[in-house]
Amino acid sequence: MENKEKTLAQLEAARLKMQQYENKIKLFENRKKHLEKKADKQRTHHLCNMGGAIQSISKEADSLTRTEFYSLMEQIFALPNVQELVAQAVQRHEERSDT
């Protein structure tokens, strides 16, 4: 009988440990979802700020459809001078974030 009781106690301890690990997994999954949601919100905020900046600089672009606007942006960002300016801005950004 002692063996059976000992085995049952070990089984119960193992079940408890398993439940604790399952709870930890749920906590980590919830934390992951929270961080992903936060990153999505930050990205959306960043994109809205970028769009707002374009709107404030070029009021005329506001009247364009999405397709027209994307076409315009593709044309603008294909210009060699613009590509050079973007590359310089990115380089300055990376230099600041390295320090």
**CB 61, CB 69: distance < 8 Å:** yes
Instruction: Flag whether pLDDT at 1 surpasses 70.
Output: no
pLDDT tens for 14-71 read 999 999 999 999 999 999 999 999 999 999 999 999 988 988 998 888 899 999 999 9
pLDDT score at 93: 94
pLDDT tens for 64-94 read 999 999 999 999 999 999 999 999 999 999 9
**CB 72, CB 64: distance < 8 Å:** yes
DSSP H or E segment with residue 69 = helix 66-78
Give the DSSP letter of residue 60: G
Chain position carrying tokens 């593709």:
74
C-alpha distances (whole Å) from 8 to each of 2, 4, 11, 18, 20 are 10, 6, 5, 15, 18
Instruction: Flag whether pLDDT at 99 surpasses 80.
Output: no
